[in-house]
Every structure is written in structure tokens, then in C-alpha cells.
Amino acid sequence: MICITGSLVLPDRIIECGSVLVAGEKIQKLVRGSKPPRGALQLDFRDCYVAPGFIDIHVHGGAGADYMDGDEAAVRQVNRAHLRHGTTTLFPTTTTASPDQIRAMIEACAKVQKHWTPADGARIGGVHLYGPYFAPNKLGCHPRLGRRDPKPEEFRRYFRGNRVRIATCAAELTGAAAFYRLARHKNCLITCGHSDASWPEMEAAFRQGVRHVDHFWCAMSSVPSVRARLGTPMRGSMEQFVLAHPEMSTEVIADGEHLAPELLNYAYRMLGPDRLCLVTDANRALDMPPGRYRFGHRDTGTWFESNGRVGFLPGKGLASSVVGLDFMVRTMARDTGAPLPEIIRMATLTPARLTGIAHQTGSLAEGKQADLVVLTKQLEVKSVMVAGKLVHGTPPAGAVGPARPKSNKPTLIRAR
């Protein structure tokens, strides 16, 4: 057994001096105090926060690789990079590309997921089928040649084997309703993204199962953009529809480059931690020096520039982020003043709940996977544990054990 001691970050509060008891790959229990049970190895992080591992539902690449490269080596390279930033579960995300490239990406992710070990980096929760079904005027940095409307003879193949767990399509496209129906049948989190949808089009998508929109305010409709497409009278857009419907959730890229502090604060105040996720949308330039990179497949993806802070298309706009979820957590703490448990919840329990894996992960609770991140008081990643194994960082200098504790019995912590 391993006893990890520190300030435990629960979904609704912080236990200033508590311990997570890990047996095998699972959390056995949470207790108050720092005394390890008999025979336990203690990892003493009393000057740090102990939180559940982060969950990223929208991520493309890192460390020089992109999931669309379509091979297992690239998948592992990205997964290991994000684990160093505290992410222990992620959903590899497709771009616009050819059917063969998308199938190769899904197959590579499925193979790594099937044979996963902690040495492979973050766990794969499932594939996020993101491109290719985007609006032509909302592509952002995604390759234009890979964009198309959804056709059943194509997308049915992607859903085989239940590998796709998040499914995105622009609501206004011909064929979107059929796509949503199949995604709903497969119990996916169904999202609308890279879309110029109006309120009525979002209403129709909602009836088909859409409950989430991707990266709020980025590559999404606005009242002016809908007016430019549909004329007057002016109609509501994705923003208004999400804010007006409590069943809808969304996500923000909190890298300090995509959204100003007032928008991050507005999203948090309007939606709250149970409807708002933190995502990286990271590309292959994460953890790489500034320079020129491909977004998407290594041979056919769009060229973009990274300045070490964000990816961008010179003169055309941003091209996703180049930082990890730990950076997003720090940015939200700095720019919103939200309580730390709520910020952590946006990076853990909320995405876990939306994707149907909250019974396995997303919070510190008895019986869940022992996937943990240890953060300094400045919210920097100190150590990461996956499946009960310390896979990043080093044990604290004060690590002791196995040892016999005093006779005082620890108090069990019950998650609320």
C-alpha cells in the first residue's frame, strides 16, 4: 500500500492535511491526517496539493507529434508529453483529413488503448471524432482540403468498435442529423464545433442529442456571423443557445492567448464548474521550441508558427495552444479567482462526467483509479501517478516506509 499525504483537492473542498491510500491500481480510501497504516510506503507531499489527474477531452498533439500522424509511436509520444503536465486521461482528437488518415489515427489510438501500460503516458479514454465535418467558413487552422459534409457511408466506419466516445459535427451541415443520431446510439458525448449555426439550427441539433459545444468563442457562430449567412431578422447564435440551456456544456482554452481574463471569468460565472471544461486543444508544438510546424498529419497538415506561447497562422489568427492543462489551471486561478476545487473540477470531474467515465476517474474517491497529480502551491506539476505507479517526478525527500503508525485511528473522509 502507498500513502500519499498532502492537501487533498476534493470536488467541493480541500482537506489541508489528508492522505490518499492506494492499493494496487485503485484508491482504497481517503483519511484525515498523515500517519501511514502499518506496512505502507508514505509519500509525504504535505507542502503540496494532491488532486485527481487531469482529463483532456480536446487535444491534438505534443512533443513534436500529432495523433493524425496515424501510428502508435506518435500516439505514445503525445500521451507521454501530456502526462508530464498532469493529464492522466485524454481523448485524442482528429482534424480534417482524408478518410484513410482518420481511420489510421483511430486504429493507432485503439491499439495503444488496448495494450496500454503506465509507461505509455496518459490513458486514452476514447477517440474524439472532431474533423472533418466543419463549416467551410469556420475551419481555423484545420486543413481545408480535408473538410466535407457528413455522409453515412463514411462516418459509420469511424463509429465501429465503440472507439469514438466524443463526436463533433457542425449543426448546419447537410447530414448532421444522421451523424448525431448514430453518435447518440453509440452513447457518445455529442458536440457542435467549428460551426456557424443559428439558434434554430442548434435547437434541431439539441433534439438529436447535442449537449456540448467546442472551445467557446473560438471558430463558432456569433449574432453577426449568423446575420451575414442568413440575413435579417438577426438570430441567436451558439453562444446564446449554450448560455440559455442549462443542459448544455462547453469548454475554454485558458492559455492566456485565446481568451482574455474577462472572457474566462465570464464563462466561469455564467456556466459554473459543472458546465465548463478546461481543454488544451494542444498541437504538436507543445514542449517544443518556437518554430514552424504542421497542424494535423506530418505530411499534409497546415503549416503554422509557434512562438512558444501559442500557435498561429501569420496574419490569419490562432492555431490552437502549445501548453498543457497545468498551464490552463494556473491561468484560471490567476484570471478568475475561482476556488481551487472548482478549477480542478473543470479539468477533472466535469469532463469525466460528460464522457461517462466519472465512475472510474475524475475525483479522489474510494474505488476510483489511482491517477493523481501532485501540484506545488504555485500549481506547478511536481509528480504524477497513474494506476498506482509514480510515472513522473520523484518521490519526496521525506518518503518513508513501510512503518508502523501510532495507535491513533485515522478519520475516514467521505466524498460529498
Model pLDDT, residue 396: 82
How many C-beta atoms lie closer than 10 Å to residue 109's C-beta? 28
How many C-beta atoms lie closer than 10 Å to residue 333's C-beta? 17
Model pLDDT, residue 218: 96
Q: Against a cut of 0.75, is the pTM above it? A: yes
DSSP-derived 3-state class of residue 179: helix
How many C-beta atoms lie closer than 10 Å to residue 224's C-beta? 10
The answer to whether 78 and 108 have CB atoms below 8 angstroms apart is no
Separation CA 25–CA 416 (nearest Å): 23
Crossing angle of helices 72-83 and 99-114, in 10° steps, is 60
The answer to whether 120 and 79 have CB atoms below 8 angstroms apart is yes
Model pLDDT, residue 395: 81
C-alpha cell belonging to residue 385 = 501517478
Domains and CATH numbers, the chain: 2-52+363-412 (2.30.40.10), 54-354 (3.20.20.140)
Model pLDDT, residue 405: 39
Model pLDDT, residue 388: 97
How many C-beta atoms lie closer than 10 Å to residue 60's C-beta? 30
pLDDT tens track for 48-58: 999 999 999 99
Q: What is the bridge-based pairing of β-strands 317-321 and 310-313?
A: antiparallel
Crossing angle of helices 199-207 and 176-185, in 10° steps, is 30
pLDDT by residue for the chain (416 residues), tens only, comes to: 999 999 999 999 999 999 999 999 999 999 999 888 888 999 999 999 999 999 999 999 999 999 999 999 999 999 999 999 999 999 999 999 999 999 999 999 999 999 999 999 999 999 999 999 999 999 999 999 999 999 999 999 999 999 999 999 999 999 999 999 999 999 999 999 999 999 999 999 999 999 999 999 999 999 999 999 999 999 999 999 999 999 999 999 999 999 999 999 999 999 999 999 999 999 999 999 999 999 999 999 999 999 999 999 999 999 999 999 999 999 999 999 999 999 999 999 999 999 999 999 999 999 999 999 999 999 999 999 999 999 999 788 656 555 443 433 445 555 54
Residues in the chain: 416
pLDDT tens track for 58-100: 999 999 999 999 999 999 999 999 999 999 999 999 999 999 9
